[in-house]
Structure 1
Amino acid sequence: MDAHHALHFTFGIFGNATALFLFLAPLITFKRIIKSKSTEQFSGIPYVMTLLNCLLSAWYGLPFVSKNNILVSTINGTGAAIEIIYVLTFIAYSIKKERAKILGLFIFVLSVFGVVVFVSLFALHGHSRTLFCGLAATIFSIIMYASPLSIMRMVIKTKSVEYMPFFLSLFVFLCGTSWFVFGLLGKDPFVAVPNGFGCGLGAMQLILYAIYCNKGKSKNLAAADKPVDMELGKPQQEKQSRAQNGNV
């Protein structure tokens, strides 16, 4: 193995490691969700879009679709299994309106993946199969990386990073960087382009965290004496008033 291939393989291994941490980072969030039996103001969209990205990327990395990308398949196959657990947990603990939205997205994700698999297996061969699957993986990888934009907007609006977990942002940056370099070394634009976008977005999240983390703590300390119902981020008094009026 020459130096170039060794470096390519090394970044693939590092990408697998950082991606695994990225997939496991939300465990803290889901521990909180399960404990409170509520999804609070967390968004389920990033987990659904991450699932689609994992499914399409795992398919793209298979040897009969693209060459020298088996490391892409192994980690994304693992990620898909983890994300399914997250999505189902989120659906179980979300309110009715949010549950319907996430369930609809979940069905959409499985449908898109099914169409890509069917078309690539039965209608395409060789380079056309690689191109089709690569484009699909790239498009939805970018959408996955862009899905936390709503959370970033909330951070700026509320000046609090409570609903943008630090480790998730950190490993978005590390994972995006690793696979960006892997794609460049392998001369694979379908790996390099979306992960370059992810690298930049992860860096933006870390910058926001650095700006607002202390402000968020100050805000939380100032509100510590107020009885807050974390289910919807509203005072318990308001919830009790709604309950008395029959509007739960």
Structure 2
Amino acid sequence: MILSDIRGFVSTLAVITTVLQFLSGTLVCKQYVSNRTTAEASPLPFLFGIVSSGLWLLYGLTKHDDKIVLVNIIGVTLMTSYTVVFYIYTFKKSSLLKQIIIMVCFILFVIGYLFVEEDNEELLCRLGLLACSLTLMTIAAPMSKLIYVLKVKSTECLPFPMILMSFFVSSLWFLYGVIEEDSYLIVPNFIGGVLALMQLSLFVIYPSTPASPSLLKSIIA
């Protein structure tokens, strides 16, 4: 059986797992609601998720790929919802608000570019490169807490469900990219799978239980 024979199966599975990945954010947000705080968690996975999904949506529309369009409409909707929940429970609202403004300005800039670029191939190329970059940033976003994790020896602040799903999703979109011979899908999803695997290894090394108060106090001091 050659890869093209399983194209439909792989693309459908990639869409389903991607939607499940987006939905895994509900587990993270549920924890925020239960704790009434986001603690030291970072909003970057959600913010990068919005921008990444938005760029892939534009890429899918330009390429006329219904699978990419469908999954990223869902992605933008869910990631925006998670960001709202994060804003409600974070104690760093002003910082998050600044990040949101930057994100909105960037998206508006890209949308404006769509109306002035007449070369469809050039547009597809640049959207692909941007989408690749944001996908990698989305997957690597939890790594922004790497130093904190190493200091407190706890992975409590890392969104395990989202990282685990990132690994499966990257693997499937990588395979779909190989079938479609689309380097914009192959490269970021290969690297993304490796990054997600590195993050998952932290959960093997360190527990997901909260760090001891004495250790946190010594770090802050």
Q: Do they superpose with TM above 0.5?
A: yes
Q: Structure 1: which amino acid aligns with 2:63?
A: S
- Please show how residues 37-116 of structure 1 align to structure 2 within 5 Å: 37-62=36-61, 65-67=62-64, 69-95=65-91, 98-116=92-110
CA deviations on 1:181-240 (whole Å, 9 max, x unpaired) are: 111211111111111121001111121111213xx55x76xx5xx7x9xxxx77xxxxxx
Offset of 1:177 from its aligned partner? 0.8
Of 149, 154, 167, which aligns to 1:155? 149
Q: Identity rate of aligned residues, in percent?
A: 23
For normalisation by structure 2, the TM-score amounts to: 0.88
Offset of 1:26 from its aligned partner? 2.2
| Structure 2, unaligned runs of 5 or more | none
CA deviations on 1:25-74 (whole Å, 9 max, x unpaired) are: 12122112123321111111111011100000111011xx115x321111
Provide the alpha-carbon RMSD of the alignment: 2.2
| Structure 1, unaligned runs of 5 or more | 235-248
Instruction: Give the count of matched residue pairs.
Output: 216
- Please show how residues 224-239 of structure 1 align to structure 2 within 5 Å: none
Quick one: distance in 1 between partners of 2:79 and 2:90?
16
- Whichever structure has more helix as a proportion of its residues is 2
Dislocated runs of 4+, deviation >3 Å: 2-6
Of 169, 177, 189, which aligns to 1:175? 169
Decide whether aligned partners of structure 1 residues 36 and 166 sit closer, same or farther in structure 2, where only a CA change above 3 A counts: closer
Quick one: distance in 1 between partners of 2:197 and 2:53?
21
Of 194, 212, 219, which aligns to 2:188? 194
For normalisation by structure 1, the TM-score amounts to: 0.79
Q: Structure 2: which amino acid aligns with 1:125?
A: D
Offset of 1:77 from its aligned partner? 1.0
Larger Rg over CA atoms: 1
- Report if aligned partners of 1:120, 1:133 keep a CA contact under 8 Å in 2: no
Q: 1:241 maps to what in 2? A: none
Q: 1:244 maps to what in 2? A: none
Higher relative contact order (CA closer than 8 Å, sequence separation 6+): 2
Quick one: distance in 2 between partners of 1:169 and 1:139?
17
Q: 2:4 maps to what in 1? A: 5
